[in-house]
Amino acid sequence: MKDHATKTAFIELRAEGLSFAAIAERLHISKSTCSAWEKELTAEISSRRGEREEELYSLYGMSREARVRRLGDTLTRINSALAEKDLAELGADKLLALKLQYEKAMREEYRDPAPAVACTEESLTDAMLQLLAAQQNGTISARDAGQQLEIIKALLRRVPSDPFDFMHIA
């Protein structure tokens, strides 16, 4: 049985995207061990991969918020330039194409801040489990997951203990 440090190194190397062959050579383990650990440690690898992406996004200022802000700033400048242009001039077609590209990029960045769920204790618990799974498999960042969790927790506090409490007007 390999030690904990070797497994931790495997998780890190897999999160970096190294192949089984490269990892096996570096850690002095077999490719079959890599395959078995991949199955066993999928959640940890996905989580570490997500953490690495967050670190890179932070390092290079590429958080979703920063990307949206940059896209918005550029789109504002393009709109200003288009407003000054006579659309009959040569070059306006290029500005219009840029405007459409940036609008498309902005739409792709849009994401609802919280999942739409019915406000029952069971549905909110399910939403928290789905959020945890999404964060563990790397489809949502830890920061975004934390924000959505706060919204779900706030909704959970508002769920009446008696399902008919909402009918009583205070």
What does the pLDDT profile of the chain (170 residues) look like in tens digits?
578 899 999 999 998 889 999 999 999 999 999 999 999 999 999 888 888 887 776 766 666 777 778 888 888 888 888 778 665 565 777 777 877 887 888 777 766 555 444 567 777 778 888 888 888 887 778 888 888 888 877 777 766 555 554 444 33
CA 149, CA 61: separation in Å to the nearest integer? 24
Read off φ and ψ for residue 137, nearest 5 degrees. -90, 5
Q: Is residue 114 part of a domain?
A: no
CA 14, CA 159: separation in Å to the nearest integer? 42
Q: Is residue 166 part of a domain?
A: no
Question: What letter would DSSP give residue 61?
Answer: T
Pair (14, 49) in one structural domain? yes
Q: Is residue 116 part of a domain?
A: no
Pair (26, 53) in one structural domain? yes
Q: Is residue 70 part of a domain?
A: yes
pTM of this prediction? Answer: 0.38
Pair (87, 48) in one structural domain? no
Q: Which domain holds residue 51?
A: 4-57
Going 8 to 14 to 15 to 16, the CA torsion angle's sign is positive
Q: Structurally, how many domains does the chain consist of?
A: 3
Q: Is residue 20 part of a domain?
A: yes
